[in-house]
Chain A
Amino acid sequence: MVISPVHYIALPLLAAFLIPLFAKINKELVRIIPGLVLAYLSAVSIVLMQKVVNTGQPVIETLAGWQAPWGINLVFSAFTGFLATLMTFMALLIWIYSYRFKKIDSEPAMKYYILFMMLVTGSTGIVLTGDIFNMFVFMEITAIAAYSLTAFYRDRDGAEAGFKYLLIGSFASAFVLLAILLLYTQVGTLNMAQIAERMHTVPTGMKITILVLFVTGLGIEAEMFPLNGWAPDAYSQSPGPVGATFAALVVKAGVYSLIRVIFTLFDIHGAFDFLVIMGIITLVISEFAAMKQTNLKRMLAYSSIGQMGFVLIAFGIGTKEAVFGALFLMFNHAVIKGLLFMSGSYLVYNTPSKDIKDMAGIGRKFPFMTFFFALGAFAIVGLPPFAGFWSKLYILLAAADEAMLGLVAIILMVSIVEIVYYFRVVAKLYWGKPTDNEVYHKPTFGGYISMTILAGVILLVGFYPDVITGFIDRAADTLLDKGEYISNVLPKVQELVNM
């Protein structure tokens, strides 16, 4: 079996549909199979990243022998590979965390793992594919899995959040489908590299309409304002590990697709400024809204939306340093938000009323959870010596290089707001008398392991960011170089045409 990017799609999907069969053999297999699959995929990621780094060429896999541009191809380049590796590792850690997560156990574990595997398939598929309709299909797979996972608990709030997510998500798919339709009528192909090649032949009016449809549809997935109404509900009502999954996988795939469309497919310069402005609005409104939240997970959701706004700003600035910072921020956000959701969900689990006010003093009963949460809070705000500091620094320097000093001031002011609401929670967790309630759910061993690994990554990258910067540098280069993408994917088109 040759190591190939197709395993990212085939194996989790296969596992997802075989899990019910395995459940008949042995109940425990249901939990173990996803772990095996994810561990194997992580190993595959490492091998493929090595290959990409060593040869400098992306690993391209053509499916079913149909050459590009007629067939669908998967592209594992420095950029997409970086994101795919990040997603796979985060999925593995989330699997470790949710291995015996109590609340999932009381619900059918089988359904959880099926949906989880489908979500992994969908997210990595979005990132790796080189065909735009294929991206749409994977978006839908991810979406269906996400809708169901949001509504996983059988309580009312979950169903409500799931329904709202579904409503808005359907709009997203409708708009993206419309956009693909119009695009197809103009360029006659569905292969992303060929679309990029032929984009200059499309009349401007049509181009802009298609771009608007894409931005609206993909912006819903990327949590742009005002399209992110579904996000706070979805993050807060889903189970803890699912919230982490959303933050680490789904939204990354959403932002990826938006970026791919704007950077590679289209060549409209106004789109970059548009990204910056929408990013600013998203960042400001969501951070301000987060200040007054009383539900911990909802607060984390707004913070997540804000970080995505920050990422959009950084991508919108568009220079190499800014894209570098944006990718670093995406990495940091996945890791740190994963840790925050993981520890936060145990904190919420042990508080009957789910209100932040009642979490006072929980630090005495759960020192580790509080420590992890505090570590995550410090890191995401951007305090040295933790990982979040470097990404913020790079983005601010990139903004200053483009003389966008007002933007720097806005970002710093919003950072102060972030500090206030995160540190309010941290202070409350550490001080005060713990309320005397009988619920006492200790985290599972798997939970400890995954959280420790994430905390370790945060500290390592914080103290020595050079571990990651090499990969991110290459990824940024690959993203910005449109010509390289086209020539890598479509090398032999001329020969095939001449045949």
Chain B
Amino acid sequence: MNNIVLIILILLGGGILSYILNKVTPLFAGLTAFAATAVAAVLFFTGLSANDSFEFTLGGMQLSWGINAYSWIFGAMVMAFAFLALLYSMSYMKGKDRLGYFYLNYSLSVMAMMGIIFSRDFISLFIFWEIMTWSSFLIVVYQGLSEGRVGIKYMIFSAIGGYAMLLSIVFMKAEMGSVLISDLIANFGSFSSGNQTMVGILLLITFGVKAAVMPLHVWAPRAYADSPMSYTSVFSGLLSKMGIFGMGIMLVSVFTQSKGFDAVNMYLISSVLAWMGAITGVMATFYAIIQTDAKRLLAYSSIGQLGYIVMGLAIGTKLSVMAALFLAVVHTIFKGTLFLVVGAVERQAGTTDMTKLTALIRRMPLTFVAALMSIIALAGIPPLAGFVGKWMLYESMIVSDHYFLVIMAFLSSTAAFLYSYRFLFGIFLGQEEPETKDVKEAPALMVIPMMLLAGLLFFLGAFPGYLFEPIANGMEYLGMGHIGWNATVLSNGWGDHLDTLAVVNSIVIIFVVVFIFLGLKNRKKTRYVTTKDVHTSGEIPTENENLTYAVDFYKPFERAIDPVMKRKMDFYYNRLGEGLESFFNFLRRIYTGNGQTYAIYVIIFLVILIIFSKQIFI
């Protein structure tokens, strides 16, 4: 049987099976889901070739599935990361109830993502997109926090995105009669001007909601925070990349098909998108800095990073798209790891509030190493992979003369340092407190995926070429033309080179040398002190002194950016929602409950129809 169909069916069957087996014992639920993902991953990596395709007709619609170089990147990401996240989840979810429900929806999300990747026509894409939406909605409400309001907000935005896609499918069918993605790319140039804009904007809205571009991002922070962490890693790492997947196709393949005046139009839309990506990057980073809860911090950070990626895609040069896709993959790895870390901390220490956690570095050293690696990658510091991506992105923006965007990107990158440090400090560093004395390291099943992912970051930082190859193939498939790459050398448009291997080598050598030197030199003189010894140097602290750094960590910063943060987008959406609800309340008063009133409505209807019958019916 066709491997593509097999993968989808295995994931679907795994979900259903784990729901059923949950009645036997909860252990089986996780195990089944994990096993199904493992089998599917193996099939994906070994059994697929570019010629695999699966076409069938369902209900009069021609559906077509297949794999190409571009979607392979995302498919590999989904399969590899889902595999590790499910491994983690088996031990993270131990002891929670209704695991069958959880794993069913988890597997459905993964299956839906693979379906999206395999789709070659928009109807399949829509079907799988909606399945992904509702299965993730069911997990957002799984833990029952905040009365489902967060889930509803998520559902509304995702529904707006999904229906935007449906509307554009309707446009497409009217224009071309077919809904194949390849047909859209081929015929987009011949659409009418209005239709090009409509289809373009609608599809960008669809993918933008998932990729949390401002102003469509308001669902993300709380949705990410309210789901169980083992799912949020997939949520933030993979589901958002589906939006990037779609945007890549749209911006790179479809929009470039426009000709003449329409091309200017499309270019305008892409530029606006680039700006929105940049603004998202800056604003989300600012919001991340002032959070006190580690989950929310990471959520806003995700939105910011996704803003970068969208910016890179929207700029549209070869180097920027490559940078964006590289950053997308790397973001999945490090953000996923960070969410796994927060999950481990939450499970071991019981809270993720950074004002309450301290000094877990001694208790959870391995988790700390994973977190450290991810933070370094997030901040874009060499020798890890994030640096490579960021470097390429900056270079591409400078080369293509988007100087103001460069400034905004630098601004948000620098601000990212602030929250990166806060994350590390708030959770792992600082003074030891008695509350966190008994925290133990996370179980092995949770630590192994984190370390593997951290190692991957290091590896990709040294040998980015392993990632360049599939990305270049993908971009070539999208129609960007051949891109030169090299295993360890990056080059920008001016002919400068950056030899990552050399960078990594030098850093490693320096690290080792200094470590040995310091270790040997001060071996006899080092002794262990607790962090409480020198705290206040014998003075009694007064009432208004802040005793721990973690509280009001960035108070001056908050005061500085307060005017910018005065109104959140959320506020406007809530106002809109309330206005609509009161309008609905007014409308339902038509049904007054008095039988005679209804009878009067009937008579009025009849009279109006008779009086205006000529106008209505002829």
Q: Is chain B in direct contact with chain A in the complex (CB below 8 A)?
A: yes
Q: Report A's interface with B, CB cutoff 8 A.
A: 163-164, 167-168, 171, 175, 204, 208-209, 211-213, 215-216, 219-220, 226-227, 229-230, 232-233, 268, 270-271, 274, 285, 288-289, 291-293, 361, 378, 383-385, 389-390, 393-394, 396-397, 399-401, 403, 405, 408-409, 412, 415-416, 419-420, 423-424, 427-428, 430-432, 464-466, 469
Flag B126-157 by CB within 8 Å of A: 1 or 0 each.
Answer: 11101101100110011111011001100110
- Are B167 and A412 in touch, CB under 8 angstroms? yes
| Chain B residues positioned under 8 Å from A291 (CB to CB) | 581, 584
| Chain B residues positioned under 8 Å from A213 (CB to CB) | 606
- Are A285 and B587 in touch, CB under 8 angstroms? yes
The CA of A285 and the CA of B609, in the complex, are separated in Å by 20
How far does the Cβ of B221 sit from chain A's closest Cβ, in whole Å? 18
The CA of A220 and the CA of B598, in the complex, are separated in Å by 11
- Are A416 and B598 in touch, CB under 8 angstroms? no
- Are B617 and A271 in touch, CB under 8 angstroms? yes
How far does the Cβ of B487 sit from chain A's closest Cβ, in whole Å? 43
Select A288's contact among B59, B173, B588, beta carbons within 8 Å. Answer: B588
| Chain A residues positioned under 8 Å from B171 (CB to CB) | 400, 405
Q: List 28 A-B contacts (CB under 8 A).
A: A163-B595, A167-B595, A168-B595, A168-B598, A168-B602, A220-B602, A226-B602, A232-B591, A268-B618, A274-B617, A288-B588, A289-B587, A289-B590, A292-B585, A293-B588, A384-B131, A396-B170, A397-B173, A400-B173, A415-B159, A415-B163, A416-B156, A420-B155, A420-B156, A423-B152, A431-B141, A432-B147, A464-B58
Interface size grouping (class) on chain B? 35 or more
Select B618's contact among A270, A409, A420, A430, beta carbons within 8 Å. Answer: A270
Select A216's contact among B145, B606, B614, beta carbons within 8 Å. Answer: B606
| Chain B residues positioned under 8 Å from A400 (CB to CB) | 170-171, 173-174
- Are B159 and A229 in touch, CB under 8 angstroms? no
| Chain A residues positioned under 8 Å from B160 (CB to CB) | 416
Flag B52-69 by CB within 8 Å of A: 1 or 0 each.
Answer: 000000111100000000
- Are A270 and B595 in touch, CB under 8 angstroms? no
Contact of B601 with A by CB under 8 A: yes
The closest CB in chain A to the CB of B615 belongs to A270
- Are B616 and A274 in touch, CB under 8 angstroms? yes
- Are B167 and A408 in touch, CB under 8 angstroms? yes
Select A427's contact among B123, B152, B156, beta carbons within 8 Å. Answer: B152
The CA of A204 and the CA of B605, in the complex, are separated in Å by 21
Contact of B583 with A by CB under 8 A: yes
How far does the Cβ of B123 sit from chain A's closest Cβ, in whole Å? 8
- Known contacts being A164-B598, A409-B167, is A430 close to B144, with CB within 8 Å? yes
The CA of A361 and the CA of B147, in the complex, are separated in Å by 10
- Are B156 and A419 in touch, CB under 8 angstroms? yes
Given contacts A291-B584, A393-B166, 13 further A-B contacts (CB under 8 A): A212-B609, A226-B602, A227-B601, A227-B602, A229-B598, A230-B598, A289-B587, A383-B131, A384-B126, A384-B131, A423-B151, A430-B144, A466-B58
| A-B pairs under 8 A by CB, number | 161
| Chain A residues positioned under 8 Å from B131 (CB to CB) | 383-385
- Known contacts being A384-B131, A427-B148, is A419 close to B602, with CB within 8 Å? no
| Chain A residues positioned under 8 Å from B143 (CB to CB) | 431
The CA of A464 and the CA of B159, in the complex, are separated in Å by 24
| Chain A residues positioned under 8 Å from B159 (CB to CB) | 415-416, 419
How far does the Cβ of B314 sit from chain A's closest Cβ, in whole Å? 26
How far does the Cβ of A468 sit from chain B's closest Cβ, in whole Å? 9
| Chain A residues positioned under 8 Å from B593 (CB to CB) | 233
How far does the Cβ of B601 sit from chain A's closest Cβ, in whole Å? 4
| Chain A residues positioned under 8 Å from B144 (CB to CB) | 361, 430-432
- Are A289 and B584 in touch, CB under 8 angstroms? yes
The closest CB in chain A to the CB of B614 belongs to A208
The CA of A216 and the CA of B133, in the complex, are separated in Å by 41
The closest CB in chain B to the CB of A171 belongs to B602
How far does the Cβ of B52 sit from chain A's closest Cβ, in whole Å? 22
How far does the Cβ of B77 sit from chain A's closest Cβ, in whole Å? 24
| Chain B residues positioned under 8 Å from A415 (CB to CB) | 159, 163
| Chain B residues positioned under 8 Å from A215 (CB to CB) | 609
- Are A431 and B147 in touch, CB under 8 angstroms? yes
The CA of A428 and the CA of B590, in the complex, are separated in Å by 28
| Chain B residues positioned under 8 Å from A227 (CB to CB) | 601-602, 605
Interface pairs A-B: 4 shortest CB-CB = A427-B148, A229-B598, A431-B144, A270-B617
How far does the Cβ of B346 sit from chain A's closest Cβ, in whole Å? 19
The CA of A448 and the CA of B163, in the complex, are separated in Å by 34
- Are A209 and B610 in touch, CB under 8 angstroms? yes
Select A431's contact among B148, B155, B616, beta carbons within 8 Å. Answer: B148
The CA of A70 and the CA of B126, in the complex, are separated in Å by 54
How far does the Cβ of A237 sit from chain B's closest Cβ, in whole Å? 12
The closest CB in chain B to the CB of A293 belongs to B588
The CA of A464 and the CA of B134, in the complex, are separated in Å by 20
How far does the Cβ of B13 sit from chain A's closest Cβ, in whole Å? 14
- Known contacts being A216-B602, A430-B141, is A288 close to B609, with CB within 8 Å? no
Select A423's contact among B137, B163, B170, beta carbons within 8 Å. Answer: B137
| Chain B residues positioned under 8 Å from A219 (CB to CB) | 605
The CA of A361 and the CA of B160, in the complex, are separated in Å by 28
- Are B147 and A226 in touch, CB under 8 angstroms? no
| Chain A residues positioned under 8 Å from B588 (CB to CB) | 288-289, 292-293
Contact of B613 with A by CB under 8 A: yes
